[in-house]
Structures are given as structure tokens and as C-alpha cells.
């Protein structure tokens, strides 16, 4: 009599395991994501490591631990180096996610060629393209000196064998959802496959001190597909954002064990591939109309970099009972909060007004210092009065109408002066203990009412 095969059902969105099929996952709430998986006997992995160095670990006092200062490997893309924290760290595991067709493979193919030129051995592994297709893409991008290795394979056991033979310094996996672990019975891209493959790649990276880049697919809501644990396992998580119908792309770090988070790198997609944008502030401001209403400029901090961005607002009378609020590139709840403060503390009757707001250029802003610029743009559209083209606004807005201090005010004001702005509005408490640069007027405001009176006098 044949032995009955034991199975369970596993959620492909979060990894929740159930003994029976469920239409809705009780853990994450996803519908129709439960997949039947055959249970495998637990055996010790033949490649299990006992320490990051591959040797048996022993307890040590922290003062006795010896460290080595590993130099970072820099590419020719300074924007890419900045997002990584200064360059590629040997032994790191980097996850890059983004929408289909956004340019992840193009970026990593360019990075592979540049890492090869530094003297390192690069292995580009693709589970989505053949070697001929990779060659055609490299020729389209006019990559020279492309002597790095390419390998079209999805079997992780074969990939590990090739890595042990070549022993590269850098490995690119495109993509993790296409890789298959033979010991795991589930299909490629499932939670079990992604988890096991990432764990093996992490072991390879740490044991052999080689940097590995992993491409990850994203879901409809823009988050990385697979278990949430995937982001915890890797050292760095990068998101490649942008609209496929526009040329600009933003590479954003949301996790980085070797550098600052929330750093961004800005690229422009051209026929020869991705080209870095040296001065993104000029890009975000180049199409601003002089004297337009509903527009204001803010100096936002993205990691360690100040960027000037235009905040646009359109306020129109509502045709229906409930006013509509729409925000693109801005937090919807923050916009609603600011409009409530404007109505209560500044006397603007916005309850019967539709409001549409966006951060121009496709950039996403989420720091508190953009509050004052959002409020000024809304008031500008509501009053039908434009702000000066040489003024910018910095400050956090409190619920009682006060303008609260923000961080790195010196860098923000210096960036505004560099771009030709002559006047900047800042929180009054930010005026102390520093000397503003010459050539720009710094005006301190304490409340939102005061800020609007000064801006629209």
C-alpha cells in the first residue's frame, strides 16, 4: 500500500501555514493565496554553516573581537554608490525591488560591467533571460569591456557549484523568484522557495566575502513579493521607483546595515541605459511656471542630500456633498491634517473644496519639514495668489497652528541659495545658533497665520 503524502497549505503572501485550505489568510488577510505544499522530512542542510567565516564559532568578549576594515568597491555611478552608503561592501547581500520594466536589470548589467573594470570577477545569473538575450541587451547599452561571466540557470544547486568553481567577487541574481531549490517541492516564486534560496545566498555571501545582488519582484501595492522575512534576511533593501512613461528613475534605500537609510539616487533612462542626474533640484524645478498659483518650493532632505521640490495644489469648489482629497507623492493623511489646521487656525473655508496635491517630478516626500510648503500651496490656490519664484518654505506644522523646528536647517538654506533663491521661510526657533549665508534672506515664522500673512502680503 502506497504511503500517503502529507501536505499543508501555505500563504504565498506571508508564509502562514494551515492544515486545510482557506479562502482568506487569517494572518495577512490576502484572498486566494493559499497553495498546497508537500511536507518534506527535516534533514540537516549539507551546506549549513556554523559561523560567517565558515569555521566553528566560539564565544568571545566584545573587546577581544578583531575587526578588519574592508574597503568599499566604488562603481562609476556616484548615485549608486551614495545609496549603498559609499560603495559595494564585500560580503553584503543587497535586494533590489521595483515594478516590471522599470530598469532593474539594466542598472545591474551596467553595474556588472563597472565592477568588472575595478578588477573583480563578476557572475551575472539570469533566470528570466538567455545568455543571447543578455548579450543583445549589453550591445544595445554599448557596454565596453564586458568580460564578466553570464549564466542562465534557475537550479540553485547548479548555481552554487558554478560559484564554487569560478569564485567570483560579485554575483547578480535576476531574479530570486525564478530560482528553484530542488529539495523544496513547491513551485518557483513560492514563499518556501524564496526563503530557502535567500538563506543559501546569504550563507554564500558571508562565508566567501562576496557581494551578492538579488532582484526581487513587487506586488500590486509596490511592496516586495514573498515573505516579509526576506527584507530582514538581507543587508540592504533598495527600491527602484519611477513611471515607465517618464525618463526619471529613483533608487531609494529603505534598509542599509552599512550606511544611511532614506538615501536616494536619481537616474535618467536613455537609449544607452541609465545616466545619473548630478543636480536633481534643477530637474524638479525646470518646468515651474513663473507666477503660477497653487505652487510652492520646499527644501526636503533625502538621507544626507537636500533636494528642492515643487509642491503643487489645486483647490476648487466641490460639486457634491463630500469634498474630494487626492495626493500624489505626498501622504494622504498628512494632507488632510494640514487642511484641517488651515481651516481651524488660518480661517480658510476648505470643507466644501476639492483639493488635489502632488509633488512634481514623481518624487515621494514623507518628512515633516514639507508641511509649511503644502499649507502655502493650498492657501495659494484657494486665494488665487501666487508665491514668488525665488521663495521657498521649510517647516513642520503643529495641530495648534505653530511652525515647529526642523533638522539640518543650514544645509537646506545653503542648497536654496545655491539654486538662486533669495528668500526662505523657516521656523522661528531655527534662527538661533547659526549664521545664514549671505545673499539669501531668512525669515522666521512662528504660526501658520503669520506665515500666510507674510507670504501673501
280 is in an annotated binding site: no
317 is in an annotated binding site: no
Q: Do 113 and 186 have their domain in common?
A: yes
Residue 163 in any domain: the answer is: yes
Q: Do 298 and 261 have their domain in common?
A: no
Residue 46: pLDDT band by 50, 70, 90 thresholds? very low
Distance, in Å, from the CA atom of 19 to the CA atom of 115, rounded to the nearest integer, reads 47
Q: Do 436 and 306 have their domain in common?
A: yes
Write out the three cell numbers for 281.
533640484
102 is in an annotated binding site: yes
Q: Do 310 and 189 have their domain in common?
A: no
Higher pLDDT: 162 or 221? It is 162
Write out the three cell numbers for 14.
506571508
Residue 98 in any domain: the answer is: yes
Q: Do 264 and 295 have their domain in common?
A: no
Mean of per-residue pLDDT scores for the chain = 87
Residue 339 has pLDDT above 80, yes or no: yes
Distance, in Å, from the CA atom of 281 to the CA atom of 17, rounded to the nearest integer, reads 48
Residue 48: pLDDT band by 50, 70, 90 thresholds? very low
Q: Do 358 and 249 have their domain in common?
A: no
Chosen domain end from 214, 247, 278: 278
Residue 50: pLDDT band by 50, 70, 90 thresholds? very low
331 is in an annotated binding site: no
For range 133-142, the mean pLDDT? 90
Q: Do 398 and 338 have their domain in common?
A: yes
Q: Do 169 and 256 have their domain in common?
A: yes
- Per-residue confidence (pLDDT) for residue 121, from 0 to 100: 94
Percent of the residues in the chain that have a pLDDT greater than 70, as a whole number: 91
Distance, in Å, from the CA atom of 305 to the CA atom of 445, rounded to the nearest integer, reads 24
Q: Do 268 and 132 have their domain in common?
A: yes
145 is in an annotated binding site: no
98 is in an annotated binding site: yes
pTM of the complete model: 0.75
Chosen domain end from 259, 278, 297: 278
- Per-residue confidence (pLDDT) for residue 1, from 0 to 100: 46
Which residues make Cβ contacts (< 8 Å) with residue 433, sequence separation at least 6? none
Quote the domain boundaries for residue 181: 74-278
Residue 327 in any domain: the answer is: yes
Write out the three cell numbers for 29.
488577510
For range 258-274, the mean pLDDT? 85
Q: Are 443 and 454 in contact (CB under 8 A)?
A: yes
Distance, in Å, from the CA atom of 297 to the CA atom of 372, rounded to the nearest integer, reads 10
Write out the three cell numbers for 344.
481651524
Query: pLDDT digit string (tens) for 396-410?
Result: 999 999 999 999 999
Chosen domain end from 240, 257, 278: 278
Residue 56 has pLDDT above 70, yes or no: no
Q: Do 227 and 340 have their domain in common?
A: no
Q: Supply the CATH number for residue 237's domain.
A: 3.40.50.300
Residue 55 in any domain: the answer is: no
- Per-residue confidence (pLDDT) for residue 304, from 0 to 100: 77
Residue 438 has pLDDT above 50, yes or no: yes
Q: Are 335 and 341 in contact (CB under 8 A)?
A: no
Residue 258 in any domain: the answer is: yes
Domain count, the chain: 3
Q: Are 10 and 35 in contact (CB under 8 A)?
A: yes
φ/ψ region of 41 (left if φ > 0, alpha if ψ in -120 to 50, else beta) reads beta
For range 351-366, the mean pLDDT? 90
SS3 state at 212: strand
Q: Do 157 and 206 have their domain in common?
A: yes
Q: Which of 154-163, 221-230, 306-315, 364-373 has the lowest mean pLDDT?
A: 221-230
Which helix (H) or strand (E) segment is 451 a member of?
A: helix 448-455
Spell 255-272 as b/e; 16+ CB within 10 A means b. ebebbeebbbbbbebeee
Distance, in Å, from the CA atom of 134 to the CA atom of 123, rounded to the nearest integer, reads 13
- Per-residue confidence (pLDDT) for residue 53, from 0 to 100: 52
Residue 302 in any domain: the answer is: yes
Q: Supply the CATH number for residue 336's domain.
A: 3.30.230.10
Residue 186 in any domain: the answer is: yes
Residue 35: pLDDT band by 50, 70, 90 thresholds? confident
100 is in an annotated binding site: yes
Q: Do 33 and 118 have their domain in common?
A: no
Write out the three cell numbers for 104.
532593474
Residue 49 in any domain: the answer is: no
Amino acid at each position: 500500500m502506497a504511503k500517503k503524502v502529507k501536505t499543508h497549505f501555505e500563504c504565498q503572501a506571508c508564509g502562514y501555514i494551515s492544515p486545510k485550505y482557506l479562502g482568506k489568510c487569517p494572518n495577512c488577510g490576502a484572498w486566494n493565496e493559499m497553495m498546497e505544499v508537500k511536507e518534506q522530512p527535516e534533514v540537516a542542510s549539507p551546506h549549513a554553516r556554523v559561523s560567517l567565516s565558515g569555521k566553528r564559532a566560539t564565544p568571545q568578549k566584545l573587546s577581544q573581537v578583531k575587526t578588519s576594515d574592508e574597503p568599499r568597491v566604488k562603481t562609476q555611478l556616484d548615485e549608486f554608490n551614495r545609496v549603498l552608503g559609499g560603495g559595494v561592501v564585500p560580503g553584503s547581500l543587497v535586494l533590489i525591488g521595483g515594478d516590471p520594466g522599470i530598469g532593474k536589470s539594466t542598472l545591474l548589467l551596467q553595474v556588472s560591467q563597472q565592477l568588472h573594470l575595478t578588477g573583480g570577477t563578476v557572475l551575472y545569473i539570469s533566470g528570466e533571460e538567455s545568455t543571447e538575450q543578455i548579450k543583445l541587451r549589453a550591445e544595445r547599452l554599448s557596454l565596453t569591456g564586458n568580460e564578466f561571466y553570464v549564466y542562465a540557470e534557475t537550479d540553485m544547486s547548479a548555481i552554487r557549484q558554478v560559484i564554487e568553481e569560478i569564485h567570483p567577487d560579485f554575483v547578480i541574481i535576476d531574479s530570486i523568484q525564478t530560482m528553484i531549490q530542488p529539495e523544496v517541492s513547491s513551485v518557483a516564486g513560492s514563499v518556501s522557495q524564496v526563503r530557502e534560496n535567500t538563506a543559501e545566498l546569504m550563507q554564500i555571501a558571508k562565508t566567501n566575502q562576496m557581494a551578492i545582488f538579488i532582484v526581487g519582484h513587487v506586488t500590486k501595492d509596490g511592496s516586495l513579493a514573498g515573505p516579509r522575512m526576506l527584507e530582514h534576511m538581507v543587508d540592504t533593501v533598495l527600491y527602484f521607483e519611477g513611471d515607465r512613461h517618464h525618463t526619471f528613475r529613483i533608487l531609494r534605500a529603505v534598509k542599509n546595515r552599512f550606511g544611511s537609510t532614506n538615501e536616494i539616487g536619481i537616474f535618467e533612462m536613455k537609449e544607452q541605459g541609465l545616466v545619473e542626474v548630478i543636480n536633481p533640484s534643477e530637474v524638479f524645478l525646470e518646468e515651474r511656471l513663473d507666477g503660477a498659483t497653487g505652487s510652492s518650493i520646499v527644501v526636503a532632505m533625502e538621507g544626507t542630500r537636500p533636494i528642492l521640490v515643487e509642491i503643487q495644489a489645486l483647490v476648487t469648489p466641490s460639486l457634491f456633498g463630500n469634498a474630494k482629497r487626492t495626493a500624489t507623492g505626498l501622504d494622504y493623511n498628512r494632507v488632510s491634517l494640514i487642511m484641517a489646521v488651515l481651516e481651524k487656525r488660518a480661517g480658510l473655508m476648505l470643507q466644501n473644496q476639492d483639493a488635489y496635491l502632488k509633488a512634481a517630478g514623481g518624487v515621494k516626500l514623507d518628512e515633516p519639514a514639507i508641511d509649511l510648503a503644502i499649507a502655502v500651496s493650498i492657501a495659494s490656490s484657494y486665494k488665487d495668489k501666487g508665491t514668488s519664484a525665488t521663495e521657498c518654505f521649510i517647516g513642520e506644522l503643529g495641530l495648534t497652528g505653530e511652525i515647529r523646528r526642523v533638522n539640518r536647517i543650514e544645509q537646506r538654506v545653503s542648497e536654496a541659495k545655491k539654486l538662486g533663491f533669495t528668500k526662505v521661510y523657516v521656523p522661528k526657533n531655527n534662527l538661533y545658533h547659526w549664521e545664514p549665508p549671505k545673499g539669501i534672506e531668512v525669515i522666521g515664522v512662528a504660526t501658520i497665520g503669520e506665515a500666510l500673512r507674510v507670504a501673501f502680503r
